[in-house]
Amino acid sequence: MKPQRFAVTPGEPAGIGPDLCLLLASQPQPHPLIAITSRDLLLERAAQLGVAVHLLDVVPGNWPDLPAPAGSLYVWDTALAANVVAGQLNKANAAFVLETLTRAGQGCIDGDFAGMITGPVHKGVINESGIAFSGHTEFLAELTNTVQVVMMLATRGLRVALVTTHLPLRDIADAITAERVERVTRILHADLQQKFGIAQPRILVCGLNPHAGEGGHLGHEEIDIIEPTLERLRQEGMDLRGPLPADTLFTPKYLEHCDAVLAMYHDQGLPVLKYKGFGAAVNVTLGLPIIRTSVDHGTALDLAGSGKIDTGSLHVALETAYQMAETRI
């Protein structure tokens, strides 16, 4: 694959995101990675970690075409509002975090980057600064004028997308509508084809209720909403299996013959995926006109600057972004 540029945003500056960027620099990369962050922040964190790194400044219009040598990191310097102490949140730097995301996202829209890989942000401190922020996904959807996006987590051998995401359990059944199930399924199917190169995706779909409703004895959402919606989409040629009971769907008998699982809610699908690939999973935002992957962990403030972090999720996020860029139609 010809080298393509990718943007990396470390996220919360007091967390482990800067540490992850510095660890990237210690290994040769197949593509030019542009860290969009503060140059001074990286130098200070490198000194704290005892890491030797050569920072190579880049700016729009002067992008590199080749990967940085091992021990080096391309940096698009972005100014902090206040000094950073590892592990200590400071709401003064909230706008800095959003500026790095804007630069990365706009760079993808403009074609400067083939995709973006995001480190963990701290939603609370951004909101405390007076900026309304509900997460990367919503921010990038607004930036790209995307109406509907889908959250998918993936690890080696398993992909799980969600019909609903961060809702209280008592609200989930009302949110499972034919319109939502159809919209999410279409986005998942299209992105598996267009961004993962799967010509005919096979998707397993969970029921909402235990035993997928037990023929209506444990709920009617499967009969009234999910199955009729899937049948309409099958008539268009989609390979959709279900609705299946979640407690049996997540077994080798089913998973070895599927490309993705569509779960009805957050804690139906993600506990299984994280058990299978904790520390080596990636968050992918489907439905965007750009490629965006992310680590599946938080800011880990207590580990920032300690040198005791695991880069597994970051490497999977990178690998996934590379794969998506290579196979994208």
Closest to 121 measured CA to CA, from 104, 134, 108:
134
Report whether 297 belongs to an annotated binding site.
Answer: no
Report whether 93 belongs to an annotated binding site.
Answer: no
Tokens encoding 323 = 């794969």
Report whether 240 contacts 252 (CB < 8 A). Answer: no
Report whether 251 belongs to an annotated binding site.
Answer: no
Report whether 91 belongs to an annotated binding site.
Answer: no
Report whether 31 belongs to an annotated binding site.
Answer: no
Type of residue found at 271 = P
Longest dimension (CA), the chain: 64
Give the β-pairing of 292-295 and 281-286. Answer: antiparallel
Q: Where are the alpha helices (DSSP H) in the chain?
A: 17-25, 39-49, 94-110, 123-128, 136-143, 169-175, 178-194, 221, 227-234, 246-249, 252-255, 266-277, 312-327
Report whether 122 belongs to an annotated binding site.
Answer: no
Report whether 292 belongs to an annotated binding site.
Answer: yes
Q: How far apart are CA 207 and CA 263, in angstroms?
A: 8
Report whether 136 belongs to an annotated binding site.
Answer: yes
Specify binding-site residues for a divalent metal cation: 166, 211, 266
Specify binding-site residues: 136-137, 166, 211, 266, 274, 283, 292
Specify binding-site residues for substrate: 136-137, 274, 283, 292
